[in-house]
Amino acid sequence: MLGGKDASRVFTDDDFEEAPDTIKEAVSEKDKIWAPNSQVQIDFLSSTEKEVLFSGGKGSGKSAALLVDPLRYCNNKNLRGLVIRRTMPELRELIGRARELYSKAFPGVKWKEQDKLFIFPSGAKIEFGYCDSEEDLERYKGQEYQWIGVDELTQFKHEEMIDKLLSCMRSTDSTLPNHFRATTNPTGPGAGWVKRRFLDRGESGKRITITNTVKINGVERTFTLTRKWFSSTIFDNVTLVDNNPEYVAQLASLPDNMREAYLFGKWLPEEGLAFNDFAQNKNKIVINPFPIPQSWEKIRGADWGYSSPAVCLWLAFDPEGTVYVYRELAVNDKKDPNKCDAAEFGTRVLAAQEKEYVRYGVLDGSAWARRGESAPSAADTMIYQGCSWIPADRSPHSRVQQKLLIHSYLKCGTDSEPKIKIFNTCKSLINCLSTLELDKHNNEDINTDMDDHAYDALRYALASKPHNYHPTTPFRSFISSSPMAPINSVFGY
Ligand SMILES: Nc1ncnc2c1ncn2[C@@H]1O[C@H](COP(=O)(O)OP(=O)(O)OP(=O)(O)O)[C@@H](O)[C@H]1O
Ligand SMILES: [Mg+2]
């Protein structure tokens, strides 16, 4: 329960029974403002893990518990909490509920509409915000929050957005937690990554421990992170079921899949993702950057676009044949007001690799398309200024073959490593592989209506390697028998 006179804690009934008389007296029955009404709300509110997800069907009491959770710390002037939804209209409903609850729990609380901020009598602050784009994210960067709550986590398509938000979560006050709390229905554009982050790692209600090893000045140190998730249904919220049987009937009459999700909180198998193998093994594939040894063979692959994104990836091969995507240049995002033309793209590619020896670059063949009678093609423009390319293989069936090739690099078992590693700085590629969907009409290929430019750059580069490549083969011997012979009949290099 949340006591009106001193709402410094959320009590479970057991807590309350064991509490000292002074506290029992301070929180009389009539002062009760809110109490958890299900075991799952109690468990969620009493979790000590750093990241906790309250998953479930409709109306199980997730948002109510999320709003209450930070209140227990609001007697501490140092608390800065942040409640997030993806968009502003969604946030309004939550703010309305918070205003009612927070003013009852802390009668002196002030609401600053412009800043969407509650200021509690102690000085503690809880901010409400939305985060639908990189620009929105900017508002929170550089701030410090001890408690971050996200309502409807699967509405966030990219895990990266949440990870960036969580980089603002830290505390120098040891009496305050560092807690990320989230709620979600089991559907939505981000269902895949949310499922992998929580559900695929452990059972409901059990602590998940994730260990990360970091090298600091040559010494390896291990850091652990704890997570937990809970499953719930509307049947946990007895009051709602008793008072609104028609609502339950309405959920029960939904089509099969939606009924499973909304009434029973069931997570449905992921469908349509083109690279499930990437998603499942992301923790093995995405790695921290390290200096690439000079002796490793390096190539680059690019997809050129002016009105659509242009992406260049740099790949290095270790002596065992594992490929490392170690650098990315991504420009001309649709929203980018400063478009980069072919000449500038070439300049930036050369600048990024500086004095590095990159064996060759492979570029989307359409970059050779003529622009008018006399204007050079985008590829010619780049080559003229020293940024050389060979055209990518666009022969019939190459799209399907190249997709299969990427799968062969991504493949790994429980005890084996994938043959591709991607530096975590290659954001476009990681986003692309995480979200690309299959073509609904041809499940051997991806849906090309999506942002697939980084994927294209990767497949062009990987497919440019001779298929009989074996790591022990000296590079020159399979590029051509003579070092001076052109490697490609269209464009010598
Ligand atoms: N402990 C509680 N005491 C009183 N009412 C509660 C409690 N928990 C939830 N409720 C009420 O039950 C209803 C549903 O709760 P809530 O909105 O939190 O569910 P939800 O799981 O977030 O639903 P959705 O999946 O639709 O977002 C709300 O009217 C809320 O006020
Ligand atoms: Mg809710």
The CATH number of the domain holding residue 154 is 3.40.50.300
3-state secondary structure of 230: strand
Our count of domains for the chain comes to: 2
In-domain check, residue 60: yes
**What residues pair up with 51 in beta bridges, in sequence order?**
180, 227
Residues 317 and 211 in one domain: no
CA 66 to ligand 1 centroid distance, Å: 10
CA 270 to ligand 1 centroid distance, Å: 27
**What residues pair up with 147 in beta bridges, in sequence order?**
81, 179
Whole-structure pTM value? 0.63
Ligand with an atom nearest the CA of residue 60: 1
pLDDT in the model for residue 33: 83
pLDDT in the model for residue 236: 96
3-state secondary structure of 86: coil
Q: 256-264 and 245-252 are packed helices; what angle lies between their axes, rounded to 10 degrees? A: 140
In-domain check, residue 430: yes
Ligand with an atom nearest the CA of residue 97: 1
In-domain check, residue 490: no
Nearest CA to ligand 1 atom 15: 61
In angstroms, rounded to a whole number, what is the distance separating the alpha carbons of residues 455 and 378? 20
Q: Residue 68 CA: which ligand 1 atom is closest?
A: 1
In angstroms, rounded to a whole number, what is the distance separating the alpha carbons of residues 134 and 139? 9
pLDDT in the model for residue 189: 79
What is the rounded (10 degree) CA torsion for 375, 380, 381, 386? -160
Report the candidate in 317, 278, 265 with the shortest Cα–Cα distance to residue 473. Answer: 317
- List all residues 6 or more positions away from 428 whose beta carbon is below 8 Å from its beta carbon: 309, 311, 328, 330, 453, 454
In angstroms, rounded to a whole number, what is the distance separating the alpha carbons of residues 411 and 420? 9
Residues 239 and 290 in one domain: no
Residues 283 and 313 in one domain: yes
Q: 427-435 and 159-166 are packed helices; what angle lies between their axes, rounded to 10 degrees? A: 130
Residues 386 and 288 in one domain: yes
Domain range holding 352? 278-478
pLDDT per residue as tens, the chain (493 positions): 565 444 444 555 566 666 666 656 655 565 678 889 999 999 999 999 999 999 999 999 999 999 999 999 999 999 999 999 998 888 999 999 999 999 999 999 999 999 999 999 999 999 999 998 889 999 998 899 999 999 999 989 889 899 999 999 988 888 998 999 999 999 887 888 899 899 989 999 999 999 888 888 888 888 899 999 999 999 999 999 999 998 999 888 887 777 899 999 998 776 678 898 898 888 899 999 999 999 999 999 999 998 889 999 999 999 999 999 999 999 998 777 788 999 999 999 999 999 899 999 999 999 998 766 678 899 999 999 899 999 998 877 788 889 989 998 998 877 789 999 999 999 999 999 988 988 877 778 888 888 899 999 999 999 998 654 444 444 433 333 333 344 444 444 3
One-letter amino acid of 456: D
pLDDT in the model for residue 179: 96
In-domain check, residue 88: yes
| Chain position carrying tokens 């299900």 | 38
CA 68 to ligand 1 centroid distance, Å: 11
Largest separation between any pair of C-alpha atoms in the chain: 91
3-state secondary structure of 479: helix
Q: Residue 58 CA: which ligand 1 atom is closest?
A: 25
Which of the listed residues 62, 66, 184, 185 should we mutate to test ligand 1's pocket, taking the one with most ligand atoms within 8 A of CB?
Answer: 62
- List all residues 6 or more positions away from 408 whose beta carbon is below 8 Å from its beta carbon: 419
The CATH number of the domain holding residue 418 is 3.30.420.280
CB 451, CB 430: distance < 8 Å: no
CA 242 to ligand 1 centroid distance, Å: 13
In-domain check, residue 372: yes
- List all residues 6 or more positions away from 62 whose beta carbon is below 8 Å from its beta carbon: 54, 55, 56, 151, 183, 184, 232
In angstroms, rounded to a whole number, what is the distance separating the alpha carbons of residues 161 and 150? 12
In angstroms, rounded to a whole number, what is the distance separating the alpha carbons of residues 341 and 306? 6
Residues 361 and 240 in one domain: no
One-letter amino acid of 15: D
**346 CB-contact burial (10 Å; exposed 0-12 / middle 13-18 / buried 19+):** buried
Which of the listed residues 54, 240, 242, 267 should we mutate to test ligand 1's pocket, taking the one with most ligand atoms within 8 A of CB?
Answer: 240
Out of 228, 261, 294, a domain closes at 261
In-domain check, residue 26: no
Which of the listed residues 66, 239, 258 should we mutate to test ligand 1's pocket, taking the one with most ligand atoms within 8 A of CB?
Answer: 239
CB 173, CB 75: distance < 8 Å: no
Residues 246 and 286 in one domain: no
Out of 210, 233, 261, a domain closes at 261
pLDDT in the model for residue 492: 40
* Ligand 1 proximal residues by C-beta, below 6 Å: 34, 36-37, 41, 56, 58-64, 183, 185, 237, 239-240
In-domain check, residue 492: no
In-domain check, residue 271: no
